[in-house]
Amino acid sequence: MEKPKFYLGSHVGMNSANDYLIGSAQEAINNGANTLMFFTGAPQNTRRTETSRLNIDKFKSMLIENEIDINKVICHGPYTINLANTVKQETFDLGVRLLKEELLRLEEIGVHTVVLHPGAAVGAPRELALKSIAKGLNMVYKELPNTPVRVALETMSGKGTEVCITFEEIKTVLDLVEAKDKVGVCFDTCHMHDSGYDVKNNFEKVVEEFDKVVGLDKLMAIHLNDSKNPISNHKDRHENIGYGYIGFEALANVVHNPLFKDLPIILETPYIDGKLSPYKVEIEMIKNNKFTNPFKDKELI
């Protein structure tokens, strides 16, 4: 298999109606993607289907047949996990349990990277929240010392009391994590823009700052999203590629940057009118490095 110039895909569904992981793989293939990201269950609840029903063997076969490297496939952890919560012990405990279960499920599936929202301080001091994230991760990896599944903490926009909105906050967590080789970072371009990093005009400087504070060796994945809001608005509202305040050129440059050639890059842009998937068109545009204004009813910023 010839090594691609980059790994580009999108979030895809994973549900019973589409035969679970078979449908996930097929959606990525239909989109012309060479990577993908899925949830192992509904992100807002704790219910999960038994892995024996997920069609794992067929999923792996489909990936091989379509030259998609499973090592570049990633999962998104449930939104119900909030390891930053020091106010409610039961919320923290639930997060630890769910994350441990998620790592075990992914080990069975054969996908070894899970992106995790670091969580929110919910009124407690931010420093305590950051220490709590590391504490939760340490508890999980002490129980699963041999798991190959890594956690990529997502850069956040600063909505509400979210933490890990700066590289310094992320470094605070990573410095306290004991399993150094198991925990890293996932860039989200919309979140970074909304938190104040100039993804549009000076992404090179942003990357240099990340490398200085955290280290590029800690970057495990990228979520590629435009933003509906001006920089530093702390809103976290994703927009389709080329229709937001970051713009097509800056986002396409992220994908085509050789620095990121080995990382899974995942689109999480909104469906058109809530119905039409944008991913096939967006992937094609980015591959060709040319904006074609495919969703003409959308307003260009």
Binding residues for Zn(2+): 76, 117, 154, 188, 191, 223, 236, 238, 268
Gap between the Cα atoms of 216 and 207, Å rounded: 8
160-181 residues labelled b (16+ CB within 10 A) or e (exposed): eebbbbbbebbbbbbebbebee
| Tokens coding 178 | 């004991």
Q: Answer positive or negative: Cα dihedral of 131, 134, 140, 144.
A: negative
Question: 34: which strand partners?
Answer: none
Rounded to 10 degrees, the C-alpha dihedral 184/27/106/115 comes to 20
Cα 267 from Cα 270, distance rounded (Å): 9
Is there a contact between 272 and 278 (Cβ–Cβ < 8 Å)?
Answer: yes
Q: Are strands 238-239 and 226-227 parallel, antiparallel or unpaired?
A: antiparallel
What are 78's two structure tokens?
A: 């449930």
Residue 212: Cβ within 10 Å count: 10
Residues of the binding site? 76, 117, 154, 188, 191, 223, 236, 238, 268
**How many CB atoms neighbour CB 126 within 10 A?**
17
**CA of residue 151 relative to chain centroid, distance:** 10
What does the DSSP 8-state code read for residue 40? Answer: S
Q: Enter the tokens of residue 73.
A: 């496939």
